[in-house]
Amino acid sequence: MDLQETLAKMTIKLNYAETKLSQLESCHCEKSCKVNGAVFRDKELWVEPENCRNCACKNGVVECRRILCPPANCSAGSLPVHVEGKCCKECRPKCIYMGKVLSEGQRALTKSCRECKNGMMVKVTESCPAVNCTESERILPENRCCNVCRGYDFCAEGHNCGENSLCKNWKTKAVCECKSGFTSTRGDLAYCEDIDECAAEMHYCHANTVCVNLPGSHRCDCIPGYIRVDDFSCTEHDECASGQHDCDENAICTNTIRGHSCTCKPGYVGNGTICLGGYHCECRSGFHDNGTYSLDGGSCIDINECATRTHTCWNDSACINLEGSFDCLCPTGPSCSGDCPHEGGLKRNGQVWTLKEDRCSVCSCKDGKIFCRRTACDCLNPNVDLFCCPECDSRVTSQCFHQSGHKVYRSGDNWTYSCQHCRCLNRYIRKGLNDKWMV
């Protein structure tokens, strides 16, 4: 087969394909509706008398609305009442009995039970069923002759509430109540129709949206070219997703109508553009910060009091540097009487005192050496210093919550959280990490 013949066959096939596509484009596919085995064409209407509804097929979707009943316009001697098998109320003669107006089917109890029928009160001879409750728990329903027990389900007997209303038990009778998003028709709560929140301007749709009415509710759709912020708002672009924001890395970016907002994550504080951790680190006494931070506590290094001459050893004693402290070795000499130099003064051998900068520490001088320790706590002593002895503080205001918020600790209690040692000190949590404290 030569090239010319191949091109001719391909041209025929292309022309055939174009013809088929043209036929498909001009074809109108009508969507029908199928209800209980019956098929209805698009825009076709029908009535469901058993449900008192008018229905229509709209682009393959069935939409039904309750039949809108005309005003009853009853005469002065009649009242509108529900009639079995009828969708709308009909006028029936009313009764006046002992000064009370009754409609067709309503009953009144005096010495005997009587019912309103065709404008006349007729005696009812049927007996009342037995009730399984005490006399004090019995109630007489409205317009009835037989008692029922308190809490009786009147709605279970059957009711005339429409599809957009709910039956509610109310004291001595059943009442109808419109569902949310629906309102009564002509003041009759048995018949409720949808509230068009869009037309009535009862919606919450903001700028850049279009209100779409729904049965019992509404929806806010974004105008083409806009993206959703929440159920009621749309914006031109998402600054958070595109990265066009100034939020801190420890903040949460939330897109808004005219921009965005920044909120610090839990555990951080700040204005959102700057978020700092909720604690800071301090070196313990005898250590200083080298300007860096590390989880293993390596950023705090020992202060060499001997090399920096910040010790309090006498001239004829030798300064020995210790981890976080120092010691003085006193050889024999006139200054080694056992007394201890302290803050430019002298403490006698055997003297005990409290540090000015730390009221919770007690120091003593022994043989030229100063020994300091934490104050012993006697929780039975009513004058115990609660600042130094938080474990003796039983006040509720001094308790601490666990980081999870599900457990309470007393002041002075210790626990472990995220590889850290925690202690409750008068309602504040202090975290220990090697040589560092995080407050």
Domain ranges of the chain: 33-66, 89-126+134-194, 239-277, 390-434
pLDDT band at 237 (very low <50, low <70, confident <90, very high): confident
Please tell me if the domain spanning 239-277 has the same topology as the one spanning 390-434: no
Query: What is the torsional sign of CA 341, 346, 349, 350?
Result: negative
Residue 296 has pLDDT above 60, yes or no: no
Q: Which amino acid is at 6?
A: T
DSSP state of 110: S
Is the pTM higher than 0.75? The answer reads no
What CATH fold (topology level) applies to the domain 33-66?
Complement Module; domain 1 (2.10.70)
Query: Using an 8 Å Cβ cutoff, are 384 and 394 in contact?
Result: no
Q: Are strands 165-170 and 53-58 parallel, antiparallel or unpaired?
A: unpaired
Per-residue pLDDT tens digits for 390-421 = 777 777 666 776 766 667 777 777 888 777 77
Are 412 and 390 in contact by the 8 Å Cβ rule? The answer is yes
CA distances from 369 to 355, 363, 395 (A): 15, 10, 39
CATH number for domain 239-277, candidates 2.30.30.40, 2.10.25.10, 3.40.50.1820, 3.40.50.150 = 2.10.25.10
- State pLDDT tens for residues 47-103: 888 878 889 998 888 888 878 788 888 999 999 988 887 888 889 999 998 888 999
Q: Is 269 helix (H, G, I), strand (E, B) or coil?
A: strand
Dist CA 316 CA 335 (whole Å): 7
Instruction: Give domain 390-434's CATH architecture.
Output: Ribbon (2.10)
Contact 204, 220 (CB under 8 A): yes
